[in-house]
Structure 1
Amino acid sequence: MINYWVILSVYILTFLIGLPTNLLAICTFAKKLGDKPSPNDILLFNLTASDLLFLLFLPFKMYEAAIGMKWYLSQSLCSIASYFFFTTIYTSSLLLMAIATDRYLGLAFPIKYRLLRKPLYAAVGSGIIWLVSAAHCSIVFIIVHMPDPNATVPKVVCYENFTEKQKKILLPVRLEFFVVMYMLPLLVSIFCYINCIYILYSRPHITKEKKQRAIGMALCTLTIFLLCFLPYNLSHLVGFSSNNSPLWRYYTLLPSTLNTCLDPFVFYFSSSTFRKSKTVSLLKRWCFRCKKTRKGKTDFEVMT
């Protein structure tokens, strides 16, 4: 049995938290792009755009969950919503890999990489990432619109209940998604951040704050890969081995949606532009005042 209200609640929570934080981020990065953008700013802008596109189509998933995982809209709309929903998930994983690679190359080869580190290359790389994820996820249109001669009634589900003919195409493609679109970015990111931390701690002149930010960046990225992306991609592996989509696959999409809530932490640790934005500065001041007020109250209670 699937608890549809749990699924709907997570989608609503993700939408309410992810939308304002990513709107703040994209406004900050858009302003920087109009000034003097760095390659890192361009990659982060694309990551934010991917999150916002995901959140834009999330209401369709809310609608689906609210009526018991049924779909009474057109199958064309189903394919479009599913296409952008899945495309943005894999675009995010590839962009996180690109951000990790950019940071590693900048630390490992500071002089050589500085000569090659141009905003144009980051823009071209981002475009390639969008094209790769979009091309991979075009399988959604093929599967949804594949003719089924045995169908007697219209489908009332979206991208589910596949025929044997559909599964012969879809399940091997999902396995390729697991290897190329998930495992490869994960392993590259792990390699880059382990080496980044090693390089930073082997250089005594690097400030403690920069070292802590590097650890925070690594932990945030690995959390997103392992907590948000792993369950859903693991369902691809299980589905391929069992020749059927597991029923619990519905729940694996829930942590994938939380990616949009965790990405702002990546923005904070990796971008001075985002850290110095007015809204973030106000939030930090408010948190500091709250902490100071609570400490003052505690001291007063001890004295009395």
Structure 2
Amino acid sequence: MDVVLDGLFSQNVTYDYESDYEYKDELESNNSKTWIPFLYSLVLVIGLLGNGLVLTALVQKRRFWTISDIFILHLSIADVLLLVMLPFLAVQASHDCGWCSKGFTCKITGAAFNINFYCGILLLVCISLDRCLSIAHARRLYSQKRPTSAHISCLLVWLCSLILSIPDWIFMVARKDPSQEKLLCVHKYSQSQTDWKLTSRLLHHMLGFLLPAAILIICWSCVLLRLQHSLKSLQKLRSVNVNLSLVAIFFLCWIPYNITLLVDTVRSHPEETNDSSGIPEGSMKTALMVTSALGCVHACLRPLLYLGRCANFRKRILGFLRCAAADSESSLWELGVGEDVLPDQRHEGEELKQMTGVDHQIPSAQC
């Protein structure tokens, strides 16, 4: 009896894994083209309304501005700058607008994205340094009697942000995505410009994120350690509550993007050919798109934080909606930046000095 195995083993069947991966990438891309534009639209509406209320409250008390008002103004301007670019980012994510990803539009959207990030973290550094010095060392970086120093700090923050965004103005171009035949805004470096790519990435990682983040962590660690030795720690914790919330929200929104960008920097090859598109491949492209969208969400969260944590700001907004007069000299944000020490705080400081004297031998926390 002859057993014929030709029908079982002669068939040479191969499975196209590559096409399966391409299908998954295309499915992820289609999903991102749907929900990312929707997210940008939601952030745009909430952000414009919230920052509009913040700017309205500042305009109402423009004759009695505090140091906190100055920093809140610049934070809101940075957010509004990003918000007005969100329609272009939305249509770029949907790949439905060719001209929106070309020329100057591509450069200005990329620069606005990074300027918002740099301004946000550097302004928080200025606020945190003032709070750390005032609580841990009884000194002031800014004073209500000398508001010029706050204005100069804000101008320097904008200047540093513009300098750090120079690579976006130079190297941000529209490139065709080989997998989708659509235009994307990416940083394009030629083979002779690989050093520029490494330098710009290092400046972003070190000066734009790691160094400011380290300063923020050190400052607020010193503040919290100092408050442990305070007689009225709960009252002081309330005074720094808004500051800590601002820093926490910023980190939650921007850390995923910076970690993803750092991974892309480590994984990228030092040499690039002249015909390289500069577009990240596969999951890295999706990760950068999703985490950058999460970073943009930050532009609408600060006004919500003010409404939830700042009672005077809520009263001002309710008074504005009811067309009622409000006290222009009261602090709206409870940041405590540049504010003079109140009498009860001076008395508390004297008691704290007595407790930390030689007789009591209680070590004080140092920054």
2:188 to 162, 174, 182: 162
Q: Which residue of 1 aligns with 2:207?
A: 180
| Distance in 1 of aligned mates of 2:46 and 2:142 | 36
Question: Which residue of 32, 35, 40 corresponds with 1:6?
Answer: 35
Cα distance in 2, alignment partners of residues 140 and 112 from structure 1 = 36
Q: Does 1:99 align with 2:127?
A: yes
> Quick check: 1:234 aligned with 2:255?
no
CA shift for structure 1 position 274: 2.8
Contact 2:173 2:186 in 1 (8 A): no
- Comparing 234-243 with 129-138, greater Cα deviation is found at 234-243
TM-superposed deviation, 1:61: 0.5
Number of residue pairs the alignment of both structures matches: 272
**Equivalent residue, structure 2, for 1:258:** 297
CA 189–49 in structure 1, closer or farther in 2 if over 3 Å, else same: same
Structure with bigger helix share is 1
Q: Check conservation: 1:39, 1:117, Cα contact below 8 A.
A: no
Q: Is structure 2 residue 288 aligned with structure 1 residue 249?
A: yes
How many angstroms does 1:11 deviate by?
0.9
User: How far off is 1:54 after superposition?
Assistant: 0.8
What is the DSSP-based 3-state SS (H/G/I as helix, E as strand, rest coil) of the residue aligned with 1:157?
Answer: strand
The 3 A distance-change label for structure 1 pair 115 and 216 is: closer
Task: Name the aligned partner's letter for residue 240 of structure 2.
Answer: A
Q: 1:271 to 1:41 in 2, by over 3 A?
A: farther
Structure with higher Rg: it is 2
SS in 1 for 2:186: coil
Which structure 2 residues correspond to residues 145-156 of structure 1 after superposition, within 5 A?
Answer: none
Once the 2 structures are TM-superposed, how far is the Cα of residue 123 of structure 1 from its aligned partner? 0.6
1:22 equivalent to 2:51? Answer yes
Distance 2:136 2:263 in 1: 38
Q: 2:216 aligns with which of 183, 189, 198?
A: 189
Q: CA deviation at 1:114?
A: 6.7
User: Does the alignment pair 1:46 with 2:74?
Assistant: yes
Q: Deviations over 1:173-207 (max 9, x none)?
A: 1232011111122111122222223333422246x
Determine if contact 1:8/1:65 at 8 Å carries over to the other structure: yes
Q: 1:120 to 1:161 in 2, by over 3 A?
A: closer
Measured in 2, the distance between the counterparts of 1:161 and 1:44 equals 32
Aligned mates of 1:111, 1:78 — CA distance in 2? 45
After superposition, the Cα gap between the structure-2 partners of 1:134 and 1:213, relative to the gap in structure 1 and judged at 3 Å, is: same
Q: Does 1:77 align with 2:105?
A: yes
Shift of 1:168: 4.4
In the TM superposition, residue 126 of structure 1 has moved relative to its aligned partner by 0.3
Name the SS for the 2:88 alignment partner.
Answer: helix
The structural deviation recorded for 1:122 is: 0.7
SS for the counterpart of 2:63 is: coil
Tell me which amino acid in the other structure corresponds to 2:213. Answer: L
Q: Give the deviation of 1:125 after TM superposition.
A: 0.3
Runs of at least 5 residues in structure 2 that lack an aligned partner in the other structure: 1-24, 176-180, 270-279, 323-367
Deviations 1:91-130 (A, max 9, x none): 1111122121122222233356576872111110000000
For 1:7 and 1:145, how far apart are their aligned partners in 2? 21
Quote the offset at 1:84 in angstroms. Answer: 1.6
Instruction: Check the 8 A contact 1:28/1:277 in 2, yes or no.
Output: yes
**Aligned-partner residue type, residue 243 of structure 1:** S
Residues 289-304 of structure 1 mapped to structure 2, 5 A cutoff: none
Aligned to 2:78, the other structure's residue is in SS state helix
Q: How high is the TM-score relative to the length of structure 1?
A: 0.77
Identify the match of residue 65 of structure 1 among 90, 93, 98: 93
1:175–1:19 Cα change, 3 Å:
same
- Are residues 77 and 113 of structure 1, via their aligned partners in 2, closer, same or farther at CA, if it must alter by over 3 Å? closer
Task: Write the deviation string for residues 208-252 of structure 1: whole angstroms up to 9, x where unpaired.
Answer: 354235245314412321x21112212331122111643121111
Q: 1:214 aligns with which of 231, 234, 240?
A: 240
1 CA distance for matches of 2:57 and 2:143?
26
8 A Cα contact 2:53 2:317, kept in partner: no
Task: State the Cα distance separating 1:53 from its structure 2 match.
Answer: 1.0
* Equivalent AA in structure 1 for residue 160 of structure 2: V
* Distance in 1, Cα, partners of 2:227 & 2:303: 23
